[in-house]
Structure 1
Amino acid sequence: MPNNHLSKNIIELYRKYAREWVALRGEWLFEKVWLDRMLALLPDQANVLDLGCGSGKPLATYLIEQGCAITGVDSSELMLQMARANFPEQMWLQADMRQFNLAQKFDAILAWDSFFHLTQDDQRQMFAQFARHAKQGTILMFTSGPAHGEAIGELFGEPLYHASLAPEEYRHLLAQYGFDVLNMVVEDPECTGHTVWLAQKGSQ
């Protein structure tokens, strides 16, 4: 039986357990190896769109320290309150990543440990969102599952939905929307087993 009905609970779970999640997540930056790969491709003072930004710690913290300007999007107002308290000079927006539309194109788009909570159909539709906020040269980085399917994890005793497309479909969607894959590692042992995509918007 499909589990995608559980995807409807994601926003509420991260609202309900915002403070607990931030405490659990901590400040260990296991993503640094990939953030550095992204940063190496960006101009100075790059504008970064962070989808599912949470409290801004630790990912946005590191990017801000490297001179980036952050526009963070999250559905949890409590998470955003923490982000605004941490970094009042940055832009923090309460919105559903599937539906917002900013009149701005970014140097980088980051969807780390957020995109994979969407259903497979919503993930397919997100590539139009990525393209809408990208210009030629924009870097896109996101995490996915390693293969087509759904997986149910746990967040403070409640079911936590994840889904993934097959790598071949991600490659097809990226190409369809004008992104070239620069790097992709399945279950990267240097990044706590995350499957990571790094792509760049071409001229089309």
Structure 2
Amino acid sequence: MRADERRDTDVRHDDVSHEDRRPPAAVLFDALGADYEKAFAHAPAHLSALEWLIERLPPAARTLDVGSGTGRPTAAALVAAGHSVLGVDVSPVMVDLAARQVPEAEFRCADIRELPLAADSFDGVCVFFSLLQMTRAEQSALLRRLALALRPGGHLVLATVPADAEDVEVVFMGRPVRATSFAEEDVTGLVEAAGLTVMSRHSTIFAPDHPGAGPEPHLFLHCRRDETGS
């Protein structure tokens, strides 16, 4: 599970330290650091989704990686294929790792929900497990913004953990986190409502390489914004 966003309201204690006032996803992924890459970077379905996207990008495409993590494998693969990458992540540790590991890409430490995105500005968008700690309304709103940020004819790949779950506590790599998701058909409907065509989808079970992580159901959607726009 890529849990890239948490609501500030999830921090309920008035006496928490300054560090704990950061978005919980930043605290979580700052702590996980390179361990996250080791656990997830070699997932076959993730690599396959990247290949699908790269095959459809024009030369020197402009791409957006939402929840860019350590920069590997997503940004690294896109750069290797000759494309420019803007990676956005809420975790400063992740952004620092990514900037060092994939110096050819641009990375910003920011909350994607608040980052301005110009219309028709990207040829490709990656959303790998970066919605799971947003509310359902936030996920829907962000997908609409990402669809509009795609150029007509552009492609988006999305991965999530499909489940009919709202603000539930789960254990992720040995750490308790709160997560929200949708069942598979509802995720597909959400993407289509955002103005994208789902060209194909792939469901799998993946076991992260980490002692605190168990097998997870993963859903990958391969999407396109129609040439006429949305």
Correspondence for 1:147 among 151, 156, 163: 163
* RMSD of aligned residue pairs (Cα, Å): 2.7
Tell whether the 8 Å contact from 1:149 to 1:164 is kept in structure 2 after alignment: yes
Change over 3 Å in CA distance of 1:188–1:42 after alignment to 2: farther
Name the CA distance, whole Å, in 1 between partners of 2:63 and 2:57.
10
Q: What is the CA-CA distance between 1:179 and the residue it aligns to? A: 0.7
Per-residue Cα deviation, 1:14-48 (whole angstroms, up to 9, x for no partner): 123324434x4375252221111112221122211
Identity of aligned residues (%): 24
Correspondence for 1:135 among 151, 158, 165: 151
For 2:61, the equivalent position in structure 1 comes to 46
Correspondence for 1:112 among 117, 128, 132: 128
Tell whether the 8 Å contact from 1:109 to 1:140 is kept in structure 2 after alignment: yes
Correspondence for 2:186 among 158, 163, 169: 169
For 2:108, the equivalent position in structure 1 comes to 93
Name the CA distance, whole Å, in 1 between partners of 2:47 and 2:35.
23
Tell whether the 8 Å contact from 1:18 to 1:76 is kept in structure 2 after alignment: no
Name the CA distance, whole Å, in 2 between partners of 1:45 and 1:114.
25
Q: What is the CA-CA distance between 1:175 and the residue it aligns to? A: 2.8
Correspondence for 1:68 among 78, 83, 104: 83
Q: Counterpart amino acid of 1:25?
A: A
Tell whether the 8 Å contact from 1:146 to 1:186 is kept in structure 2 after alignment: no
Name the CA distance, whole Å, in 1 between partners of 2:41 and 2:191.
31
Name the CA distance, whole Å, in 2 between partners of 1:142 and 1:201.
13
Name the CA distance, whole Å, in 2 between partners of 1:140 and 1:48.
10
For 1:185, the equivalent position in structure 2 comes to 202
Instruction: Give unmatched runs, 5+ long, in structure 1.
Output: none
Q: TM-score, normalised by structure 2?
A: 0.75
Q: What is the CA-CA distance between 1:180 and the residue it aligns to? A: 0.6
Q: Counterpart amino acid of 1:146?
A: P
Q: Counterpart amino acid of 2:179?
A: H
Question: Residue 85 of structure 2 aligns to a residue in which SS?
Answer: strand
Name the CA distance, whole Å, in 2 between partners of 1:27 and 1:163.
23
Question: Residue 40 of structure 1 aligns to a residue in which SS?
Answer: helix
Q: TM-score, normalised by structure 1?
A: 0.83
Tell whether the 8 Å contact from 2:90 to 2:110 is kept in structure 1 after alignment: yes
Name the CA distance, whole Å, in 1 between partners of 2:191 and 2:172.
30
Change over 3 Å in CA distance of 1:196–1:136 after alignment to 2: same
Q: Counterpart amino acid of 1:144?
A: T
Name the CA distance, whole Å, in 2 between partners of 1:33 and 1:159.
29
Tell whether the 8 Å contact from 1:171 to 1:181 is kept in structure 2 after alignment: yes
2:186 equivalent to 1:160? no
Name the CA distance, whole Å, in 2 between partners of 1:89 and 1:139.
22
Name the CA distance, whole Å, in 1 between partners of 2:104 and 2:51.
23
Name the CA distance, whole Å, in 2 between partners of 1:159 and 1:188.
21
Q: Counterpart amino acid of 1:79?
A: M
Q: What is the CA-CA distance between 1:83 and the residue it aligns to? A: 1.3
